[in-house]
Amino acid sequence: MESVQVIKQRFGIIGNTPTLNRAIEKAIQVAPTDISVLVTGESGVGKESIPKIIHQLSHRKHGKYIAVNCGAIPEGTIDSELFGHEKGSFTGATQTREGYFEVADGGTIFLDEVGELPLTTQVRLLRVLENGEFLKVGSSKVQKTDVRIVAATNANMFEAIKKDQFREDLYYRLSTVDIHLPPLRERQEDIHLLFRKFASDFALKYKMPTIKLTDDAIEVLLKHRWSGNIRQLRNIAEQISVLEQNRSITSETLKGYLPTSGSNLPAVIKHSKSDSDFSSEREILYKVLFDMKSDLNDLKKLTMELMKKGNTKDVEKEQQGLIQKIYGSNDETDFEEAIDEPEVLSIPEHNTQKQETFNNQDKYHFAEEIEEEETLSLHDKELELIKKSLERHHGKRKLAAEELGISERTLYRKIKQYDL
């Protein structure tokens, strides 16, 4: 078995942090087996190196190695890409096509950003992991494949499982061995070492002297948070190598290339609302609306009774009390605006003859009109909210579901229910 130092030299991995060395050790130990591996870590930490190590140290090293970015393939074509399709199985399928699992038979498949897989594809992948079987799109013939699957993700898988965005059984099937790569901010002793390597590489690439950091610039380099990890550090090194005439880089020069919008201090992370939180807020809103409806109906009934008696002063007094209850205002201007409802609060001149003709039939008809105007439909409100959210996000169900505080599966069911 090759040592960690030999593997790092062979695959161009730089750093001596214990957590990095431990990740490489686990990759070396698991490589000779066919166990599924899940590589976790933030974006830009170099997760793609681990599958290459595992493949090259396994008995499959002479087979094919295929890396698939699951987040870059459209949802409608990912099944065809992974498992292939038959001729005529869908529009544009002019010939039979082999998928990655068929092509890589006897080799290794690296599924990058596996957390982005659609749920239907996750079911197919689970079957491959369990017994090596899969179906081409549009085919009923079961095919077998012998592939080693290594997956990677920068997402919080437990949160995805909780939100029904990733299957729990698939997660545990993929993560038989979990290899975690630490972020760059947890590898303080490696940051300057990596920067020097990148600076040397770009000096050779662009045929210019190598840049060097002063002591104060090194201190700034080590204190930065590096939210983009190794990818961000490499980008900064390349920019400075190309743009700076003076090859001695001071702290002030370096700060000019570092982003200033973020902060190195801890921040409160805003969690998205759960379905229960959204439902609770919606119930409270509806309760307030129904209470207002009840108060308005009471106001209308009182107005009708006092109009029949003909005492306009009592009408105005009672109206003011009820309007203050509904609108919570004692301001006379607000009161005058509130009673500017001709159908509800307009007081006609005292006319005994008209009052006598206000019979029971008219009263019932008036009440029916009120009830029809004040009807509130939960169905219509929910439909309106879903339509607005989908329009705002240009039909992207994932973003609309996050805004509404519901799962994407629930939103999809509502879309089918309302035939949107």
The pLDDT score that the predictor gives to residue 201 is: 95
- Grouped pLDDT means (10 residues each) for the chain, 420 residues: 89 94 96 95 95 96 96 91 92 90 96 95 95 93 95 95 95 95 94 96 95 96 94 96 94 92 50 55 75 78 72 59 55 45 42 45 46 57 81 83 82 78
| Whole-structure pTM value | 0.62
Asked if 100 and 109 count as a contact pair (C-beta separation under 8 A), the reply is yes
What the chain holds in terms of domains, given with CATH numbers, is 4-182 (3.40.50.300), 186-255 (1.10.8.60), 275-373 (no CATH), 378-417 (1.10.10)
* Other Cβ atoms within 10 Å of 228 Cβ, number: 18
The pLDDT score that the predictor gives to residue 69 is: 95
Task: Read off the tokens for 77.
Answer: 């074509």
**Closest listed residue to residue 297, CA positions, set 376, 382, 352:** 376
The pLDDT score that the predictor gives to residue 395 is: 82
Asked if 195 and 233 count as a contact pair (C-beta separation under 8 A), the reply is yes
Helix (H, G, I), strand (E, B) or coil at 409: helix
* Other Cβ atoms within 10 Å of 263 Cβ, number: 8
Q: Which residues contact 414 (CB under 8 A, 6 or more apart)?
A: 382, 386
The pLDDT score that the predictor gives to residue 320 is: 63
Alpha carbon 41 to chain centroid distance?
A: 17
CA-to-CA separations, 42 to 39, 155, 242, in angstroms, rounded: 10, 8, 28
Query: Where in 77-205 does DSSP place strands (E)?
Result: 108-112, 133-135, 142-144, 148-153, 177-180
Task: Read off the tokens for 275.
Answer: 């379905």
Check residue 116 and report its DSSP letter: G
Q: How many CA atoms lie within 13 A of 231 on its CB side?
A: 9
